Amino acid sequence: MKIRYIVAMAFLLLFTNINAQADCILGVGVTNDSIISDIFQLNEMQKEKLESFSGEVKFRNDVLSNELENVKSRHPQSSVTELRQLADKYKVVMDSMATVQEVMDKKMLALFNSNQYELYQSLCKEAYRSPYIVAPTMYTDSIVDENR
């Protein structure tokens, strides 16, 4: 019985890894702000925040790009072991870039109203990507008063 359980869990983990979808990035800082603004019909406050978040992504990625250049230029590359160490250091910096993107995208998505967030989820589904899960903001100008 225990072996069946282990085999079933191994199969489930293998199946999950094979069929896992990539994250659905919004692209703050890498996609032109006007494209994001037009697609999601951002209000003025959202546009200002998008501009700020984009600047932060670009700044952080510039710092990380410089770090990549330093790693590449200063790390010995004459043996397989040294190349593996270089690859490990490179991966750490690339993972940091991905984390910066995820954090800024989530900050922006948290400013979306429910309609904007539903559009984001729909676009992710069409692209076979996993959307980031955030709670959309409820804006007073986007709430319909049923008593009117």
**Per residue in 103-142, pLDDT tens?**
999 999 999 999 999 999 999 999 999 999 998 888 765 5
pLDDT at 11 over 50: no
**Per residue in 30-75, pLDDT tens?**
999 999 999 999 999 999 999 999 999 999 999 999 998 888 888 7
The per-residue pLDDT for 75 is 77
Contact 115, 142 (CB under 8 A): yes
**Per residue in 72-107, pLDDT tens?**
888 777 788 888 888 888 899 999 999 999 999 999
**Model's pTM, two decimal places?**
0.74
